[in-house]
Every structure is written in structure tokens, then in C-alpha cells.
Copies of this chain bind each other. A is one copy, B any other.
Amino acid sequence: MQRTLIRETPQNIGEKVLLKGWAQTIRDHGKISFIDLRDRSGIIQCVGQNLPKITTESVIYITGTVAARPEKLVNKDIETGTVEIQIENVEIIALAAELPFDMGQKELNLELPTLLDHRALTLRHPRVQAIFKVQEVVIDAFREFMKKEDFFEFQAPAITPATAEGGAEVFKVDYFDKKAYLSQSPQLYKQIVMTAFERVFSVNKVFRAEPSVTTRHLTEIVSLDAEMAFIESWTDVRNMADRVVKYILREIEAKCARELKLFSIEVPATIDETPTLSLREALVKIFEKTGRDVRGAKDLHPEDERDICNIIKEETGSDLVFIYGYPTKKKPFYVYPNPEEPEFNEGMDLLCRGVEWLSGGRRVNDYEQLLAQVNEWGMDPEKISMFLDAFKYGAPPEGGFAFGAERITKQVLGLENIREAAMFPRDMERIDVRLGEL
């Protein structure tokens, strides 16, 4: 008999079906038992008599008849709530061991260490699955949008020969008898590939050896990167970033209604013209509205980010706001200084609900200027010779941006800790297992 997916059952009332899945919850009422069966497509209530002894999370095959539920017993919370399965036979495929905690609870209220210690199990919980379905949509939507805009996808390397930008927070690899490093960013590679393919993007891992355990840090993240040639101004980069972020939000709304409902959250509000302020304008605004005098600051501190987002939201209704024009020396060597005011650059950040979502801006494409900035920033041109070659042989005006899949997932769903937004989060204290125990 052909397997029926659970989501297809409402179209099969009165018919005999074979369902395959996991026994998510089991309720025994004397002779009669209720099993909530879960497969990749949904959950359905099955009811039967004199069933064999089954443990929660066991894999079972249920043969039975799809029956319409009486109106008053319809469960509006699930898509199969109008039907139930009258069990004829249960085949036990794999009996689960006793669970370390109750997987049947709707919220799965576990402490984070427990949630991660039992990742193989907690991944089965609908609330946890919702997080990674949203993350899949974030990444898919990014890829889909970039391809529509004629961007070429390339595979950025993970192993790199040298650390172009700061060596402190980089992981070292024993590479045969040499030292290599894990990539902190595909920045230099995407700029190289841009000089060949014009419009490029990548979805690749980056690694940060930050020795801090906070709610915002992971050592391994999925970086969504884009770079585009032949821009007229940094605002071309801003517009592309603005459009892709809005596209991602629309896709989440369209495809993750159930997931958003589980987290009782709405995606951030956007308006046609995303507010865009220079750093100095933002600082003045914060002073005017809050009285905190941050004018003259070189960057936005977390409190400033929260304040400016709140102010902009109140003034315009937009959860998104771009900040540009940072002090040139506060950004990496490749960022483009404003020609009319070279102490400020054409780098930008996108903030949302008080947190930075995305960074980017225009880059220096002139070889001589780039070489001058490499030296001014105290870097060794030898260590980035392949990158410099790309510009030595003719590179167009260009810019790009990057953001992390886990951070967007965390922010959209309002998760407390970024570790919840990584399927197998790595940090200073954990790689699957707690490192202290190794």
C-alpha cells in the first residue's frame, strides 16, 4: 500500500490510508488510545483500541480510515484538524528509548544547554523545526532574488592562506606542515570574482574565533554575501540591499505564516523609501530626541542603535533604517572614502529593531588608491596579492554587502539567543557536546 502524507489526509475522507511517522504524543484512556502522529508534512490525531505498547517518538506505520470529525471536535490549530484516523493496525518500526524530557509540550520550555545537549531529539519539535524552516526561506529568498538580478553564485573558500584583516579572532588550521586559517569573510574573494563576473553572490560559512560567550556570538556562521560592479554611487548598493531584505521579509510572510504564528510575531515593517541617515545625522537625532549627547561619536553603540531605530519607527513607521558615512578609519581598508570629505566613507549598515542586520558599501576600485589605503591601514600587500591583482588589471566602480543567516533568523523570530538559530551552534564552550567535558 502506498504511503499517504499526513497533510493529504483531509482529501481522503472515508478512505483507507497508510501513514508513516513518529508517535509525538500518546494518550491512553483505558482501551481507547490516541496517538498524535507526526511526519514531515504535519500532525494528525489517530484513535484506536487495544493498541500495542508504544513509546513517545517511536517510528510507527499506521493503517486506518480517514474520518471527518464532528464540528465541535474540529481542532483549528492544525491543518488536519477536521479529520482523524481510525486505526486498524499499528506496525512498530523503531521503538524509542524513554525521553529525557517531555517532547509533547507546545513551547518546549528547556534551558538552552539542555536544548542543545539533546539536539538530535529537540530538532523534532515543531517549534524548533519552525526556526529552520524560516532560515531555509531566508537563504532561498536571498539566492532567488540575487539570481533574478543576474548575480552569479560562486563558492567562496573556507581555508585561507593568511589573515588580511586582524589575526586575533581567526582560527588556525594545521595544514600539512604549514599554517592556514579559516575564512572570516569572503570579502576579498567576492571582490576578485566581481572583477570577472560583475555581479556575484555566495552563501558560505565564515568563522570567528571571538573568545566571548554572549547571546550574539557564534564561531561558525552562514554568511550571505553579494558584490556588484558598475555602480554609479554607493546608493546603488544600498538600493540592492534594501530590495533583497524586503524580498526576504515578503517571502517569510508568504511562506512561513504558520511559523510566525507559533512565535506570535510579525515580520518587521517596511516602507517604500527606507529611511537613510548619515552617522552624524543619526547622532544629532538621538541627541534631539533623547537628550543623550552622542554627537561626535565615531560609531553607534548598542544603545544608540536601539534609540535611532525607535525614533525612526515612530517618525516613519519603518523598522529598517540605513546609516552611512562612518569615519573612514573605523572601517576596513577597502571601503570607499567620500571624495568630497575623505574622513568619512561610503560604508553603510542596515539596522532593524535596534540591531545591525547588514553591512556594506562602496569599495575602492582604483588600484593606486587601493594600494595607498593598504599601506595606510598598515597591511602587508604581499598577503593579499591575488586580491590586489584583480584591481591591478582593471576593476570597475563597485560595492557590496553581507549579512548572517542566523542573525536574521534570530531577529525575525525574536529569539533570545543566536544559538537557537543555528542547527548545530558552535561557540567557545560547545561543538555539539560541551567542550569542558572532553
Residues of A with Cβ closer than 8 Å to B?
Answer: 3, 20, 22-23, 39-41, 55, 57-59, 93-97, 99, 118-121, 123-124, 129, 132-133, 135-136, 139-140, 150, 152-161, 171-176, 178, 180, 182, 189, 192-193, 195-199, 204-205, 207, 209, 211, 219-220, 222, 230, 365-367, 385-387, 389-397, 405, 422-424, 426, 428, 431-433, 435, 438
Question: Once the chains bind, are B153 and A189 in contact (CB under 8 Å)?
Answer: no
Residue of B nearest to A209 (CB): B176
Using Cβ atoms and an 8 Å threshold, which residues of chain B touch A96?
A: 392-394
Chain B residues closer than 8 Å to A22, beta-carbon distance: 394
Instruction: Check B180 against A175 for contact (C-beta < 8 Å).
Output: no
Partner of A195, one of B124, B157, B158, B424: B124
Which residues of chain B are within 8 angstroms of A175 by Cβ–Cβ distance? Answer: 171, 219, 431, 435
Name the 7 nearest CB pairs between A and B, nearest first. A96-B394, A123-B196, A120-B390, A40-B198, A120-B389, A161-B431, A96-B393
CA–CA, A171 to B153, complex, Å? 27
Partner of A423, one of B58, B154, B199, B367: B154
Q: Is the CB of A158 within 8 A of B431?
A: no
Known contacts A58-B394, A124-B196; is-contact A132 B157 (Cβ 8 Å): no
Check B396–A93 contact: CB distance below 8 A.
yes
Task: Collect the chain B residues with CB atoms within 8 Å of residue A433's CB.
Answer: 161, 385-386
- Given A20-B230, A95-B394, A157-B220, output 16 extra A-B contacts at Cβ < 8 Å: A20-B396, A40-B152, A59-B395, A59-B396, A93-B396, A99-B393, A120-B386, A120-B387, A123-B193, A124-B196, A136-B154, A139-B155, A158-B182, A159-B220, A160-B431, A176-B435
